[in-house]
Amino acid sequence: YTAMLMTVLSIMGTIPVLMYILKLKFEEKRGRTEHLFSAAVSRNNVIGSYTLTAIVYAVVIQLMSILGFWSAAVFAMDDAISLNTLLKAGFVHLPAIWVMVGLAVLLTGIFPEMTGLTWLYLGFSFFVMYLGDLIKLPDWMAKLTPFGYTPQVPIEDISFPVLTVLTIIAAGLIIIGFIGYNKRDIQG
């Protein structure tokens, strides 16, 4: 139960993170980035500040979710789940959230008109991870989302190679997004 709840909380916590990173596309669409680029600010600095903030924001949101879940468990349960277990169960999802950030950066950088696909993919991830067992979806469908690769702590052990691969994928998507953002025409 704890593992599933942490997965759902992580997916829900991805929403404000994606809202922040996709704000850059919104600001561009509204013509509000023009004044930024008229000053001595590079495109890497602009997209980098949004990306770094989103990555750090993901950590803060996960921590707040974990602390909220733990405090509720302490008050509601006789034998509450340890904070250490919840920290492991929550932070193991960070690389999957960062993959979602990487996807948003990639689409913002290369295909800004398709950034809505990020929300579609997050909705698919929520559907598969939350309702997959209930409606008996095949296991391979969970593997179509980054959250399908995160270990279900405390049921499973933490798999550092898997988390490393997810982090490398996130970094690769971000780098490609940065390159695309530097090469494409900025609207507005």
pLDDT (tens digit per residue) in 112-158:
999 999 999 999 999 999 888 889 899 999 999 999 999 998 889 99
**Which pLDDT belongs to residue 125?**
95
Whole-angstrom distance, CA of residue 128 vs CA of residue 122: 10
Of 43 and 100, more confident: 100
Rounded percentage of the chain residues whose pLDDT exceeds 70: 99
Averaged pLDDT for residues 33-39? 75
Averaged pLDDT for residues 156-181? 96
Averaged pLDDT for residues 103-119? 95
Task: Say if CB 22 and CB 122 are below 8 A apart.
Answer: no
| Ranges 15-29, 30-44, 104-118, 153-167: which has the least confidence | 30-44
Whole-angstrom distance, CA of residue 79 vs CA of residue 75: 10
Rounded percentage of the chain residues whose pLDDT exceeds 90: 70
Residue 5 Cα to chain centre, angstroms = 16
Local confidence band at 81 (pLDDT 50, 70, 90 cut-offs)? confident
Averaged pLDDT for residues 5-33? 89
Q: Check pLDDT > 80 for residue 68.
A: yes
Helices (H), the chain: 2-29, 34-38, 43-76, 83-91, 94-110, 116-131, 139-142, 160-183
Local confidence band at 171 (pLDDT 50, 70, 90 cut-offs)? very high
Q: Check pLDDT > 70 for residue 188.
A: no
Average pLDDT, the chain: 91
Q: Check pLDDT > 90 for residue 37.
A: no
Averaged pLDDT for residues 91-114? 96
